[in-house]
């Protein structure tokens, strides 16, 4: 009969960010391991708290299926003598596999005749074979940081304290780091008992719930969200919830209770983003905003905190958190008052004291370069030298704080918004600038940073990307695509490179030509990563990028079109690939360029002339379609598909590689011309086809 299996690893409090990855490793490893052990099973469900990693696998086969294993042994020539009797090699092989020498079987394969042992493996009970798998998985879990404790050599995120390993109601024979598995878990440190007996996997969640632990992290998350909405409503507002902070908080507690605290309303004069960052980023609190208006509405002088303590401690928990929040808001208020003693415009010269990347001038020099790249922007106001951004705890607000300071300094709303949007987007999912000025300024900044890093030879290698260039390139691509700005990247980066000063160390710089050679591959990697998230197949992406391209917007539209064509009209796409491949596979190995001249005087068959004339008509149609704004890719494909029958007939009746060298060269030139017709859409040799 199928049984449920429970495995729980009890530990000291694990860092919140390490719990989910460990649970995913545990579930994946168990699922794969059960398959190798020939044990069928049902759903695997993981459960995690700061003090436990657990998984329950339903419907595990109680005993393995019997198996027959065929083991290849020595060559027959070595295993049998001239009389066909087993030699020492055969006897040793048979003894090692536990079979009689006479039971060895002779079989042939591509490498010759070999002896095989057919070994029967009777199935064992799941409770007997699982412990070794569980031990291997436990010791193989990876964490950002691990530690040893006591006298042992085992490394884990935090010290192991208990193990629960049940196959149905049976305790499995398992020991790790001198801890023997049993059926006793541990309850909440305050609300429960230190020893909680688990009779079977079926009662695991309820047994822990009775001892103050909500073991299901999904349920804890829902409890926190519901509690936050309820408490915010009591304050007369709505909870401002951050998904990342919610997940983190859910792995900091085992019995979450949401409490509502308050702070002095005078702090609401601070920029909204500063208050939210202080609450969420530092204290893991959730702000409360007014119920009216949109998500960016005014904040209320309240915050929500998730407690892991009993209700009797609510007053002390709130008092302590209010006491901690007050000085953080005081610091932010102090920074604001001190920073605004000087308008932002007066701080421009301060940027001359901040060195830019690799000694390529100062941030003031960079400001001048940005002004050149966005010449219509009157001036660039940077907030990196204010006290608010000098505080590393609030550094993530650069740009946003600058926008507030610009308004307080009397700058126009357009200028203030551009400054606030200067660094957007920061991550792959972050919001994009809403104003044209902010988008241009952000684009110029990212181009300048990339140009400077590549000039210094600092492009990313492997997983190392200290300058966060991948992130900046992704932001650049998202910006131009969002705005539909058709920018030729070689011209844009050439302009940025020309504005850079010479590096202080002689011979340190990489030439402009070298930078422009390296950039396409780097940008292509970022495009592929973005397209993958948009569902564009990797071979379509590589086909679009394998032909010369300079416009990030155009190549993105083209890749998306090809992916959609393959999905919506697979027959047309397949035909397009077939037509493109036939001439390409002949001319490319011969090194004939697409523009090679074709002589009509060397045509020997009317089919050659027909295909040549049609190809010129198609070329004009493709050129017109792609010159439209936006490019009419569908019309280009329709024009190319008219070549299907003529190309097929040509290859059926005419030998391209003729004996006469002039005729052969002329036909290869014709093939080169056909190949060149398809390259504005993509290199279809990159498309992966069945077989």
140-177 pLDDT tens trace: 999 999 999 888 889 999 999 999 999 999 999 999 99
Q: What is the largest CA-CA distance in the chain?
A: 105
Instruction: List the one residue out of 476, 506, 501, 509 whose CA is nearest residue 355.
Output: 501
| Overall average pLDDT of the 233-254 stretch | 94
pLDDT of residue 459: 84
Task: Let me know whether 640 and 657 are in one domain.
Answer: yes
Total domains in the chain come to: 5
Please tell me which of 162-176, 438-452, 486-500 the model is most confident about, judged by mean pLDDT: 162-176
Roughly what angle, to the nearest 10 degrees, separates helices 552-568 and 538-545?
140
Q: Which residues of 25-55 are buried (b: 16+ CB within 10 A; e: fewer)?
A: bbbebbeebbeebbbebeebbbbbbbbbbbb
Inter-residue contact 467 to 458 (CB < 8 Å)? yes
Task: Answer yes or no: is 691 within a domain.
Answer: no
Instruction: List the one residue out of 400, 405, 406, 407 whose CA is nearest residue 424.
Output: 400
- What DSSP string runs through 483-518? HT---BHHHHHHHHHHHSPPPSSTT-PPPHHHHHHH
Task: Let me know whether 201 and 150 are in one domain.
Answer: yes
Count H helices and E strands in the chain, helices first. Answer: 25, 16
Q: How far is CA 373 from CA 21, 376, 486, 493, 500, in A?
A: 43, 9, 16, 10, 12
> pLDDT category, 272, cuts 50, 70, 90?
confident
Instruction: List the one residue out of 254, 240, 238, 236 whose CA is nearest residue 306.
Output: 254
Q: Which residues, 6 or more positions from 428, have their beta carbon under 8 angstroms from its beta carbon?
A: 471, 474, 478, 530, 533
Please tell me which of 268-272, 388-392, 469-473, 583-587 the model is most confident about, judged by mean pLDDT: 583-587
pLDDT of residue 650: 95
- What is the rounded CA–CA span in Å between residue 169 and residue 201? 8
DSSP helix/strand/coil, 389:
helix
Task: Answer yes or no: is 359 within a domain.
Answer: yes
* Cβ-based neighbour number of residue 250 at 10 Å: 27
Boundary residue ending a domain (533, 564, 592): 533
Inter-residue contact 14 to 26 (CB < 8 Å)? no
Task: Let me know whether 572 and 643 are in one domain.
Answer: yes
Task: Let me know whether 602 and 525 are in one domain.
Answer: no
Beta-bridge partners for 299: 289
Task: Let me know whether 251 and 375 are in one domain.
Answer: no
Question: Does pLDDT of 135 surpass 50?
Answer: yes
Task: Let me know whether 559 and 622 are in one domain.
Answer: yes
pLDDT of residue 412: 58
pLDDT of residue 432: 81
Task: Let me know whether 472 and 609 are in one domain.
Answer: no
| Average pLDDT of the chain to the nearest whole number | 87
Task: Let me know whether 111 and 184 are in one domain.
Answer: no
* Cβ-based neighbour number of residue 601 at 10 Å: 6
pLDDT of residue 286: 95
Percent of the chain residues past pLDDT 90, beyond the cut: 62
Q: Which residues, 6 or more positions from 563, have their beta carbon under 8 angstroms from its beta carbon?
A: 535, 536, 537, 540
pLDDT of residue 388: 40
Higher pLDDT, 99 or 466: 99
> pLDDT category, 385, cuts 50, 70, 90?
very low
pLDDT digits (tens, 9 = 90+) for 660-669: 999 999 999 9
pLDDT of residue 54: 98
Question: Does pLDDT of 575 surpass 60?
Answer: yes
Report phi then psi at 491, rounded to 5.
-70, -40
Burial class (CB in 10 A: 0-12, 13-18, 19+), 310: middle
Higher pLDDT, 69 or 52: 52
Question: Does pLDDT of 389 surpass 50?
Answer: no
Question: Does pLDDT of 455 surpass 50?
Answer: yes
| 280: DSSP letter | I
pLDDT digits (tens, 9 = 90+) for 9-35: 999 999 999 999 999 999 999 999 999
Task: Answer yes or no: is 547 within a domain.
Answer: no
* Cβ-based neighbour number of residue 219 at 10 Å: 15
> CA dihedral defined by 42, 47, 53, 55, rounded to 10 degrees?
-10
> CA dihedral defined by 587, 593, 598, 602, rounded to 10 degrees?
-40
What's the per-residue H, E or C state across 324-350? HHHHHHHHHHHHHHHHCCCCHHHHHHH
Instruction: List the one residue out of 50, 54, 56, 10 whose CA is nearest residue 254.
Output: 50
Task: Answer yes or no: is 39 within a domain.
Answer: yes
pLDDT of residue 421: 62
Task: Answer yes or no: is 660 within a domain.
Answer: yes
The residue segments making up the domain with residue 518 are: 344-533
Task: Let me know whether 160 and 251 are in one domain.
Answer: no
Task: Return the sign of the alpha-carbon dihedral for residues 148, 154, 157, 158.
Answer: negative
Task: Let me know whether 570 and 583 are in one domain.
Answer: yes
Task: Let me know whether 59 and 72 are in one domain.
Answer: no
Task: Answer yes or no: is 590 within a domain.
Answer: yes
- What is the rounded CA–CA span in Å between residue 360 and residue 358? 6
- What is the rounded CA–CA span in Å between residue 23 and residue 15? 13
Roughly what angle, to the nearest 10 degrees, separates helices 512-533 and 469-483?
70
> pLDDT category, 372, cuts 50, 70, 90?
low
Q: Which has the minimum average pLDDT: 142-156, 250-264, 275-289, 454-468?
A: 454-468
| 242: DSSP letter | -
Q: How far is CA 622 from CA 386, 473, 580, 632, 635, in A?
A: 55, 31, 14, 9, 7
pLDDT digits (tens, 9 = 90+) for 499-555: 888 877 766 678 889 999 999 999 999 999 999 999 999 999 999 999 989 999 999
Tell me, rounded to whole angstroms, the distance of Cα 519 from its chain centroid.
21
Beta-bridge partners for 9: 53, 163
pLDDT of residue 158: 95
pLDDT of residue 387: 41
Task: Let me know whether 412 and 460 are in one domain.
Answer: yes
Boundary residue ending a domain (321, 339, 357): 339
Boundary residue ending a domain (305, 339, 373): 339
Pull the structure tokens for residue 362: 């100062």
pLDDT of residue 603: 95
pLDDT of residue 648: 94
Q: Which residues, 6 or more positions from 400, have their beta carbon under 8 angstroms from its beta carbon?
A: 271, 273, 420
pLDDT of residue 56: 97
Task: Answer yes or no: is 610 within a domain.
Answer: yes
Statement: the pTM of the whole predicted model exceeds 0.95: no
Question: Does pLDDT of 578 surpass 90?
Answer: yes
Task: Answer yes or no: is 546 within a domain.
Answer: no
């Amino acid at each position: 009969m199928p049984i449920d299996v429970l495995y729980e690893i009890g530990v000291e409090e694990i860092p919140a960010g390490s719990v989910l990855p460990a649970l995913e490793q545990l579930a994946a490893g168990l699922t794969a391991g059960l398959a190798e052990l020939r044990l069928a099973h049902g759903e695997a469900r993981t459960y995690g708290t700061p003090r436990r990693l657990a998984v329950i696998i339903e419907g595990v086969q109680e005993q393995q299926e019997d198996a027959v294993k065929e083991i290849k042994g020595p060559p027959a020539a070595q295993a049998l003598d001239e009389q066909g009797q087993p030699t020492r090699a055969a006897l040793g092989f048979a003894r090692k596999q536990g079979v009689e020498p006479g039971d060895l079987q002779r079989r042939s394969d591509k490498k010759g005749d070999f002896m095989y042992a057919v070994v029967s493996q009777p199935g064992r009970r799941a409770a007997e074979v699982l412990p070794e798998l569980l031990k291997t998985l436990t010791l193989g879990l990876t964490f950002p940081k691990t530690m040893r404790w006591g006298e042992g050599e085992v490394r884990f995120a935090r010290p192991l304290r208990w193990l629960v390993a049940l196959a149905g109601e049976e305790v499995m024979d398992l020991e790790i780091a001198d801890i023997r598995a049993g059926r006793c878990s541990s309850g909440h440190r305050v609300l429960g008992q230190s020893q909680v007996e688990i009779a079977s996997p079926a009662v695991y969640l309820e047994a822990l719930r009775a001892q103050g632990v909500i073991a299901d992290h999904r349920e804890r998350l829902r409890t926190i969200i519901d509690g936050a909405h309820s408490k915010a409503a009591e304050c007369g507002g709505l909870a401002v919830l951050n998904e990342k902070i919610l997940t983190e908080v859910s792995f900091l507690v085992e019995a979450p209770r949401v409490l509502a605290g308050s702070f002095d309303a005078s702090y609401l004069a601070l920029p909204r983003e500063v208050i939210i960052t202080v609450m969420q980023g530092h204290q893991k609190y959730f702000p409360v905003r007014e119920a009216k208006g949109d998500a960016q509405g005014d904040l209320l002088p309240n915050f929500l905190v998730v407690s892991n303590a009993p209700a009797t401690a609510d007053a002390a928990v709130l008092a302590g958190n209010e006491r901690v929040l007050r000085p953080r808001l005081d610091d932010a208020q102090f920074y604001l008052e001190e920073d605004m003693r000087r308008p932002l415009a007066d701080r421009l010269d301060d940027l001359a004291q901040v060195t830019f990347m690799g000694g390529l001038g100062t941030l003031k020099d960079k400001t001048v370069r940005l002004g050149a790249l966005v010449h219509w922007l009157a001036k660039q106001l940077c907030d990196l030298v204010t006290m608010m951004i000098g505080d590393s705890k609030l550094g993530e607000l650069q740009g946003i704080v600058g926008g507030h300071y610009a308004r307080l300094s009397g700058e126009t709303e357009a200028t203030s918004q551009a400054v606030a949007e200067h660094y957007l987007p920061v991550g792959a999912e972050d919001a994009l600038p809403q104003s044209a000025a902010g988008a241009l300024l952000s684009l110029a900044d990212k181009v300048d940073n990339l140009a400077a890093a590549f000039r210094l030879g600092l492009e990313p290698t492997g997983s190392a990307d200290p300058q966060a260039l991948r992130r900046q390139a992704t932001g650049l691509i998202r910006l131009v695509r969002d705005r539909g700005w058709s920018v030729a990247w070689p011209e844009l980066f050439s302009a940025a490179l020309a504005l850079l000063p010479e590096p202080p160390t002689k011979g340190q710089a990489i030439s402009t030509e070298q930078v422009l050679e390296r950039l396409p591959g780097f940008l292509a990697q970022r495009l592929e990563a973005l397209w993958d998230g948009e569902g564009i197949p990797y071979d379509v992406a590589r086909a679009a990028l394998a032909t010369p391209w300079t416009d990030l917007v155009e190549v993105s539209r083209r890749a998306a079109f090809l992916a959609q064509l393959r999905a919506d009209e697979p027959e047309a796409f397949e035909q397009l690939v077939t037509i493109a491949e036939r001439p390409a596979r002949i001319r490319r190995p011969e090194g004939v360029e697409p523009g090679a001249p074709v002589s009509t005087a060397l045509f020997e068959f009317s089919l050659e002339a027909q295909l040549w004339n049609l190809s010129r008509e198609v070329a004009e149609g493709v050129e017109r379609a792609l010159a439209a704004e936006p490019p009419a890719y569908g019309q280009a494909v329709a024009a190319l598909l008219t070549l299907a029958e003529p190309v097929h007939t040509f290859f059926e009746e005419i030998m391209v590689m003729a004996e006469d060298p002039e005729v052969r060269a002329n036909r290869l030139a014709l093939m080169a011309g056909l190949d060149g017709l398809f390259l504005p859409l993509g290199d279809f040799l990159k498309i992966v086809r069945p077989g």
